[in-house]
Amino acid sequence: MEVKITNENFETYKNGELPLVVDFWATWCGPCRMVSPIMTELAEKYDGKIVVGKCDVEEADDIAAEFRIRNIPTVVFMKNGEVVDKMVGAASKDKFEEKFQALL
């Protein structure tokens, strides 16, 4: 399941029981559109084990600033409220899935 990350709900997901993967993106970003279906597929595969959040950098600029997001897509991997890994740019499903597995 994918969730929309906003300034209002981010802390709840960040400090939740499940690991959190945040996909920072924007509507105008071509590489983001390549990553999006991969995140959707992995969100379904890891439903109940990992929360996958989509964070539009233009709508939630406070969160993007907090994580110093300079390039998109950027995918941040969090466990216990802490960043444990980060990927910048588009990558293959296999590369993303390796990171998902490492969170478990």
Q: For residue 77, what are the β-bridge partners?
A: 21, 85
For residue 46, the 8-state DSSP code is: T
55 is catalytic: no
Q: Which of 21, 32, 38, 51 is catalytic?
A: 32
| Residue 30 CB partners (closer than 8 Å, separation 6+) | none
Q: Which of 29, 51, 69, 87 is catalytic?
A: 29
Question: What per-residue string of b and e applies to 13-36 under the rule 16 or more CB within 10 Å gives b?
Answer: bbeeebbbbbbbbeeebeebeebb
- Catalytically annotated residues: 29, 32
